[in-house]
Amino acid sequence: MGVLLCIIRENVVSLQKISRMTMKSKFLIGLIGAMALCLMVSCSVRRDRERIDTAEELLYSSRDTAELLIRQVERLERLEDEHLAKYWFVICDLHANSMQSLSEDSMICWASEYYRTQWEEEHGDARHMILSGLDEAMYFWWNGDKARTQEVLQRQKKYADEVAEQSGEHLWQVIVLRVSAEIAMRDYDYEHVREYTETLIGLDNGKAIHLDEVERVYNALAIVYFSLGEYDKMEKCFEKAIAQAADSAFIVNVVRRNYADLLGEIGQTDRAIRMQEVLTEEYRQADSWLQVESLYSLSRLWLNKGDKQRAERYMREAEELFAGYKESEEFDPAAEAAFLAHRQVLEYAQKGSYHCFPLVQYNNHWSETDYVRYRVAEAKERSIRDLRERNLYLTISRQRQMIVIIMLFFVTLGGILLFVYLYRRRQRLLLEKEEEIETLRNMLASADKPDDRFRTGASQPAEADVRKLMLQQLGVIKTIAGTPTEANQQLLARLMALNEETANALIDWPSIYQTIDLVYDGFYTRLRDKYKDVLNEKELQLCCLLKADFSTKEINMLTRQSLQTIYQRKTQVRQKLNLPEAEDITTAII
């Protein structure tokens, strides 16, 4: 028995050494990894929000910087709706401000709906609601859906009226009407242009338009009236525009020149000539490129009056000046085409012949230039596409790295959880083994006591003999003695591997029953006779061991029955015999 205890003790010590491995370091590593991952994702999303906000602030003051910032946004899928809508709004506005097509900016429809919903629920962000809706209208226009374009514009006009009614501010009405007029002008829909522009002028008795915008509005409306054949209204609009700020650059360079040109178109040639002569002198004094166009207009007007000599003189002067402007930034290819066409008309009027070669040569030149520009643009687009593909590859690589990090995190976390589970399981097993050692030690101590019968002269065996006999019948001593001395682990394994059936086969229950009868006045026989039809063999065995004062743990050690099985059988005995829960089984049954 001492050998057995030594073996068990050595194995317990080894288990204790293993269990001393602390999980503190692994837990801290996992916790730090999780915190780092969360912090990294949080910082990335915060940077994206800051980039979007800054890009919107720089949208109209520094477009290139705004575009650079918005292209650096990485995690659209982690953005909340507010910043996601702002992102698509900024992207679309950048395209619109750089005169790019909006045909592929379909997400502006979602952003517009988001801002519209926010406005209808909270009446909050009028700016984003109006501007995103106008971008949505431009998106449909670029895709050729005029019906949807007008539908969106009418909706935005209604919202702008609501904002004006609530705040008394007409800014958004002005913006909506101006964009609506611009879209109608692109479609040569002069009736709608007139409607929108007249409404714009009538807002707040004409006070809604900013002062430096009034002459532009009147100039545009005058051209619309000309296109509609309403020449009186055209002249009134030009006069109103000039009255706003007669000395402004826009009036001198645009409004008065348009006025003179359109007067010539409606047959008021003399008035047009006087106005163009005054403008030519002003442009000459300012050394402005516009003197070339003014001279060209004078040549055209004098040709209409039939004065070919004056028409030729003004045309030669215009061509000489134009040659000096060809290399400047102010050069306008459309003006060159007009000059060439007018030169052919003038020569036909003078000589009666028409030559198309100069126009064909001009066309070929610009066709070749356009071809080169197209190829350069194509190369740039290809370069941009390659750069985007590389960026996409880098993004995918970063995402893969992130996936690997996340997988490692979860593997580490799983390892930590597994370690915790195994650690707790080992602690529990260790506690159970220590309890088994203590129980076995007590049982061995009781079995090794000297036989009191020789000192007392008793004729019947003492109660301790039942325990001793149980140990001998179980075969513990036989098992240890018969095991080859290979390793302590194998000895312990053979002892602990005994299951209920093996342990039951090793016990000589008839001898145990006989001993129980001798010690306890025929307890087993009386129990069997009285309850043989109620209790089965396992329950009879349990009652005998309980009568011999074996504890539940000792019964577990001897018979290798699980504690749960023993408790279940106790409960079954109480139920079959109708015994109270608190009453001792062996006292109550006999």
Q: What is the mean pLDDT of the chain?
A: 79
Q: Can you state the angle between helices 552-559 and 537-547, rounded to 10 degrees?
A: 130
CA proximity to 82, closest of 115, 58, 126? 115
The per-residue pLDDT for 541 is 87
Q: Residue ranges of the alpha helices (H) in 168-251?
A: 171-186, 190-202, 211-227, 231-244, 249-250
Average pLDDT over residues 134-142: 94
What is the rounded average pLDDT of the residues 529-549? 86
User: What gap in Å lies between CA 464 and CA 456, rounded to an integer?
Assistant: 14
Confidence of residue 449 (pLDDT cuts 50, 70, 90): low
> Which pLDDT value is given to residue 313?
92
Asked if residue 289 lies in contact with residue 325, where contact means CB atoms within 8 angstroms, the answer is yes
pLDDT at 439 exceeding the cut of 80: no
Stretch 495-508: mean pLDDT: 57
Torsion angle of the four alpha carbons 272, 277, 278, 281, in this order, in degrees rounded to the nearest 10:
150
Least confident of 19-23, 281-285, 552-556, 577-581: 19-23
pLDDT value for 475: 45
Q: What is the pLDDT of residue 457?
A: 47
User: pLDDT: is 493 or 221 the higher one?
Assistant: 221
CA distance linking residue 162 with residue 105, whole number of Å: 27
Where along the chain do its domains lie?
464-589
pLDDT tens-digit map of 347-359: 888 877 777 767 6
Q: How many helices (H) and strands (E) does the chain have?
A: 29, 0
Which tokens in the block code for residue 154? 């009418």
Q: How confident is the model at residue 488 (pLDDT cuts 50, 70, 90)?
A: very low
Question: Within 10 A of 56 (CB to CB), how many other CB atoms are there?
Answer: 19
C-alpha to C-alpha distance for 131 and 352, rounded to whole angstroms? 57
| CA 284/CA 294 separation, integer angstroms | 10
Mean pLDDT of 179-192: 92
Q: Which amino acid is at 143?
A: N
Position 482 confidence tier, pLDDT thresholds 50, 70, 90? very low
Question: How far, in Å, CA of 67 to CA of 44, rounded?
Answer: 19
Please write down the long-range contacts of 25-34, taking CB distance under 8 Å and 24 or more positions apart: 26/412, 26/415, 26/416, 26/419, 27/416, 29/412, 30/409, 30/412, 30/413, 30/416, 33/408, 33/409, 33/412, 34/409, 34/413
* Lowest mean pLDDT segment, chosen from 169-178, 191-200, 315-324, 476-485: 476-485
